[in-house]
Amino acid sequence: MSIRYQEKTGQLILETASTSYQMNIDGMGYLKHQYYGKKLGQNDMSYLFRTYDHGFSGNPYDMRNNRDYSLDSMAQEYTSFGVGDFRVNSIAASCSNGSRCAEFRYETHEILDGKYAVPGLPYVYDDNDTVHTLIVSLIDTVANIRVKLYYGVFEEKDVITRTAEIINAGSETVWLRKASSMCLELPFGKWDMIHFHGRHCMERQPERVPLFHGVHTLMSGRGMSSHQHNPFVILCDPETTEAHGSCYGMMLMYSGNHKTEIELDQFDSTRVVMGINDDRFRWELGPGMSFQTPEVILSTANGLTELSHRFHRIIRHNVVRSEYKLSHRPVLINNWEATYFDLNEEKIVALAQKAADIGVELFVLDDGWFKNRTDDNAGLGDWIPDTEKLPNGLDGLIAKINGMGLKFGLWVEPEMVNEDSDLYRAHPDWAMTAPNRAPMMARNQLVLDLSREDVHEYIFNTLSALLTKYNITYIKWDFNRPLADVYSHAARPPRQGEVTHRYYLSLYRLYDRLTKAFPHVLFEGCAGGGGRFDAGMLQYSPQIWCSDNTDAISRLTIQYGTSFGYPISTIGSHVSAIPNHQTGRLTPLNTRGTVAMMGAFGYELDLTKLSDEELDEMRAQIKRFKELEPMIHDGLYYRLSSMKESGYYFAWQFVSPDLSRSLLSIVVTNPLANAAPVHVTLKGLDPDAVYSVNGEFECLGAALMHGGYTFPRLTGDYPSMQLDIVKVK
């Protein structure tokens, strides 16, 4: 059993294959955190904690004569609020009498076989794993608020999941003002924080900074997980590298407003609180009602590579639900950068024919296919094919594309509406707009209020009709603006603070209904590129368009940062035209192919304008990717360069699960005159096996992993190289 209770000491112990997590129910009934890290066995870690008089740190009333005992210096599993712990708190609420205090103490616990579910939200599920659940119930008997803490222990995968259920156990209404998913204490040690910031077209830029005293806040209030701050953070020892050192990864499975607070307090203890962003959040809990928080995926490892591998495994096998999660992803072409809004059947058919000729498997028709959609000012909400652009209708176009041996996919943005649309004219109250206030506009569109059941049903019925009527096997689901003027015309004023979260509860239910009704459709997520690249969306979309920036050199950093938490198979990555449409950069086709192969592979350019030589090279790229895809998506991924080297080159490696094959890739970002040779040490090979290196020579895996490999000098504009490393004996 991976969960044990030691009644004599009040210890609750969670164990995975290589980690231990300990908490303790003390004599006062507080649930203390004791340890999370490398596996310890039976050892009780309470010896680490000594009590001191902390001066102005207050004491619970029944310990008022013991100045050594203070919530303000105690490591806790989930904090009380308003009663003497002045650090960042896990929860906040207002009672009917105006009180904003609650002091949670242990009530009971239970240990269950299998994995708990999270009603209404995405969650990590049991996929024939050895999983056990711990539920610890805490209660404040004055405020009559109960908190149930859920822990899911994935023993073989070295992952622990966490969520909290907040219950109104009284007879009066309670208003939640903050409801975090997790509090994790690291009472000892110095830590660096690695987070993934960015902007549109430059998502998930890794940044590593040492913690300093105070509160570090990473958050999104944009109504989506956002381009700016991904809901994933790593804390690591300052000496941690890819291969060695303590590190902790925390990922919130949520696509809306989120917040992570990391406090280095007055006593050099670190606290991490993660969950829904409490800004503008207010949830009414009537008697007997409960609120469930989004789930957190938690792991600790020795080195950043091992940590990434654990997140890659759990997401690929236990988060993604699509039948495509472990199967071949079709190589696709998207017409957006080839035509933009200026599309017609003749152009699309010509592009599709070229795509079929070089081995593409799926054609995706992007924005502009529906009526009144000649630019971004009109049409959203009215998902009716434009018969002027498509005189034979959408079904006629699909028949021609299918006749070429290609599958067909379609772009939609179902959560949005233009003012110039039949839908808005009929239902202006379906859009999120604040009363008596001109709304903020973005991309000339408004957001439909998905918290409303009538809007939910409209979108479900509209998409269901498209997927039923037409032979569509892929949907690119876009979301091109943040939420502002958040107001539901169907909700009472006191409940407007619930609208954003109810929006996402409805969105997840919509995705769940559609993916179950149309299980053979591959859904790809998109939000102006990577604005909703999170584990919540990956429950339903096995791949997400990584960024609207298709420049290969920009993508190196974006995909590098994404790889710390998310599997390679989830990263939508395409070869695009030059000069690149976002940066104007000229990059060799070989390099664009090398970078795009670090993901779900495809193309985004006008093939009709390319030479026969370029088409032949693409034909070879597609053939090569199809051969390598099982290793790229199912194997282990290694970052062989750091951000320090990125000013010169990026290098990375894939290794097949059976260690029989590896692919080593490099892109030189800044060829230097009279430069030192680029030398890398490979990872993950069988040290005793003999490998052929690009057919040029043979050597032991140990030699490649310890002695390394020196690349030949690569010159020119952004040169690249791929090496096949194949086990021969």
- C-alpha to C-alpha distances, 331 to 109, 587, 654, 655, nearest whole angstrom: 49, 21, 19, 21
CATH topology of domain 3-318: Beta-galactosidase; Chain A, domain 5 (2.70.98)
| Percent of the chain topping pLDDT 90 | 93
Residues 704-717 have pLDDT tens digits of: 999 999 999 998 99
Residues 570-599 have pLDDT tens digits of: 999 999 999 999 999 999 999 999 999 999
pLDDT above 80 for 701:
yes
Out of 127, 284, 614, 686, pick the active-site residue: 614
The whole-number pLDDT of residue 1 equals 77
Q: Is 613 exposed, middle or buried (0-12, 13-18, 19+ CB in 10 A)?
A: exposed
**E-strand spans in 473-527?**
474-477, 522-525
The whole-number pLDDT of residue 690 equals 98
Higher pLDDT, 660 or 46: 660
The whole-number pLDDT of residue 55 equals 72
Superfamily (CATH H level) for 649-727: Golgi alpha-mannosidase II (2.60.40.1180)
The whole-number pLDDT of residue 58 equals 81
The whole-number pLDDT of residue 45 equals 86
Mean pLDDT throughout 221-233?
98
Specify whether 278 is catalytic.
Answer: no
The whole-number pLDDT of residue 65 equals 74
Higher pLDDT, 175 or 1: 175
- pLDDT bin (cut points 50, 70, 90) of residue 69 is confident
Residues 290-314 have pLDDT tens digits of: 999 999 999 999 999 999 999 999 9
pLDDT above 80 for 500:
yes
Query: Phi-psi region for residue 138, left (φ > 0), alpha (ψ -120 to 50) or beta?
Result: beta
The whole-number pLDDT of residue 43 equals 82
- C-alpha to C-alpha distances, 121 to 129, 136, 220, 510, 674, nearest whole angstrom: 21, 20, 19, 11, 55
pLDDT above 90 for 105:
yes
Mean pLDDT throughout 174-200?
97
- pLDDT bin (cut points 50, 70, 90) of residue 33 is very high
The whole-number pLDDT of residue 688 equals 97
Q: Compute the 3-state secondary structure of the chain and give helix, strand, coil in percent, each to the nearest 5.
A: 20, 30, 45
Which 3-state string (H, E, C) describes 698-718? EEEHHHHHHHCEECCCCCCCC
Q: What backbone phi and psi angles, to 5 degrees, belong to 217? A: -120, 125
The whole-number pLDDT of residue 51 equals 72
In the chain, where does the domain assigned CATH 3.20.20.70 lie? 332-634
The whole-number pLDDT of residue 576 equals 98
pLDDT above 80 for 539:
yes
Beta strands 600-604 and 571-576 are: parallel
Residues 425-437 have pLDDT tens digits of: 999 999 999 999 9
The whole-number pLDDT of residue 68 equals 82
In the chain, where does the domain assigned CATH 2.60.40.1180 lie? 649-727
Out of 185, 295, 534, 548, pick the active-site residue: 534
- pLDDT bin (cut points 50, 70, 90) of residue 646 is confident
Higher pLDDT, 61 or 636: 636
Q: What is the rounded average pLDDT for all residues in the chain?
A: 96
CATH topology of domain 332-634: TIM Barrel (3.20.20)
- Cβ 441 vs Cβ 417: under 8 Å: no
The whole-number pLDDT of residue 346 equals 98
Beta strands 522-525 and 543-545 are: parallel
In the chain, where does the domain assigned CATH 2.70.98.60 lie? 3-318
pLDDT above 90 for 264:
yes
pLDDT above 90 for 64:
no
The whole-number pLDDT of residue 153 equals 98
Residues 343-370 have pLDDT tens digits of: 999 999 999 999 999 999 999 999 999 9
> How many C-beta atoms lie closer than 10 Å to residue 729's C-beta?
7
Mean pLDDT throughout 502-529?
98
Mean pLDDT throughout 272-298?
97
